[in-house]
Amino acid sequence: MKAVNLEKLLPADIPAGERILWHGRPEWKSLARGAFRVDFVAGYFGLMTLWNVASAAADSGWQAAGLAAAKTFGSGFAALALLCLLSWLSARTTLYVVTSRRIVMKLGIALPVFFNLPFSQIASASLRVYSDGSGDIPVTLGEGQRIAYLHLWPHARPFRITHPQPAMRSVPNANAVAETLRRALLAASNERRGVETPASAPSPVVTPDSAGSPANEAVAA
């Protein structure tokens, strides 16, 4: 991973001595599939190509069918190329940072913006892992805390529009990142309650998400 000068990127209100536990960017290919839905777009244009070829062949012969296939395939290729470019740019301009006190998200392709999420404002965090080992780590904000879905997208849990959940999307080695965040949340929660953090904390609890696929619950703060 290319070195990042975090001192220039982090918000000025992070106090000296606050430890940076992890920082990274999304995997752009995973982001393309998970956030920009390139698999669905490719499938849609594939079906449209077959439909147009069959219709044109039945009406005007195979020469017309070939022309229809070329037009549909060209449109699909252009759409996928644009989505992949947006995914790459989004991943390139994003920075996620987990410190001992908060999550910082630097987002935005044209106009970078910071979202500063202190652990005291996070109610819980969860994990969804993909087949390549990358995954999404959305966090549930406490009562009274809200960031608009459009301000976050694509760095938000999908389809949670009325109660948006900021998410570190498509992070590499997601299990390790989630474990780092879980321990940090647990330590911060125990510190607020005046409880000493155990040397070995329990593993995350595995629960199904709304889609029926595994989601590891990181910790409830």
Is residue 198 in a domain? yes
Residue 203's CB is within 10 A of a number of other CB atoms, namely 9
Q: Are residues 155 and 204 in the same domain?
A: yes
Of 200, 14, 206, the C-alpha closest to 106 is 14
Is residue 8 in a domain? no
Phi-psi region of 23 (alpha: psi -120 to 50; beta: other; left: phi over 0): beta
Is residue 5 in a domain? no
The residue with greater pLDDT, 28 or 15, is: 28
Q: Are residues 146 and 101 in the same domain?
A: yes
CB 165 within 8 A of CB 141: yes
Q: Which domain holds residue 186?
A: 19-27+96-220
Is residue 12 in a domain? no
Question: Averaged over 23-49, what is the pLDDT?
Answer: 91
Is residue 114 in a domain? yes
- Report the mean per-residue pLDDT for the chain: 81
Q: Are residues 124 and 169 in the same domain?
A: yes
Express each pLDDT in 164-213 by its tens digit: 999 999 999 999 999 999 999 998 888 877 665 554 444 343 333 444 34
For residue 5, is pLDDT > 70?
no
Is residue 9 in a domain? no
Q: Are residues 162 and 202 in the same domain?
A: yes
For residue 91, is pLDDT > 50?
yes
What pTM value is reported for the model? 0.78
Residue 77's SS3 state is helix
Give the C-alpha separation, 215 to 126, whole Å: 6
* Domain count within the chain: 2
